[in-house]
A = this chain, B = another copy of it.
Amino acid sequence: MSNQEQQVGYVVKQAQSLLRLRMEEALHPYALTVSQYSCLHHLLREPGISAAGLARATFMTRQSMNSMLQQLLERELVERPARPASGRALPTALTAAGVDLLAAAQAEVDGVERRMLSGLSPSELISLTHGLNACVKALGD
């Protein structure tokens, strides 16, 4: 293997790709994509968020998010009011079915994350998180 591929950027991409693959496998029984799971996951923690805010939190465009929310609405996993109370933002939240499905799916995804970190000591995990956050900060505008 070429040592150029050991550049940090490549390893970040490799880790993210593999994590996504394992998450896809874990979420398959629940008929959820990783993007859909991320959406539900964030909705549990920030109910009433707008689609645009949700898109920012999950690194998508607001157009893609609205497209995805349509599917989740049809499956009755999320709900939105027909009209905004004020402004244009439509506050989105999980339904009871959405909460239940998320809970089941999250148990699987948590297992994937535990597997990912299984080779790291607590101090190594702290170093990893610290390093990644430093990368995010340095790349932020």
Contact = CB atoms under 8 A, between A and B. Distances in A.
A12 B139 contact: no
A15 interface: yes
A132 B119 CA distance: 10
A100 interface: no
A14 interface: yes
Contact of A2 (B11, B46, B127, B132): B46
Interface in A100-132: 109, 112-113, 115-120, 124-125, 127-132
Given A16-B16, A136-B15, A8 B125 contact: yes
B130 A116 contact: no
Contact of A12 (B16, B45, B137): B16
A27 to B, nearest CB: 13
A19 interface: yes
Nearest to A6: B129
A117 B7 CA distance: 11
A70 interface: no
A96 interface: no
Interface of A: 2, 4-9, 11-19, 21-23, 41-42, 45-46, 57, 59, 109, 112-113, 115-120, 124-125, 127-140
9 contacts: A8-B125, A9-B116, A11-B136, A12-B12, A16-B16, A18-B135, A21-B139, A22-B139, A127-B127
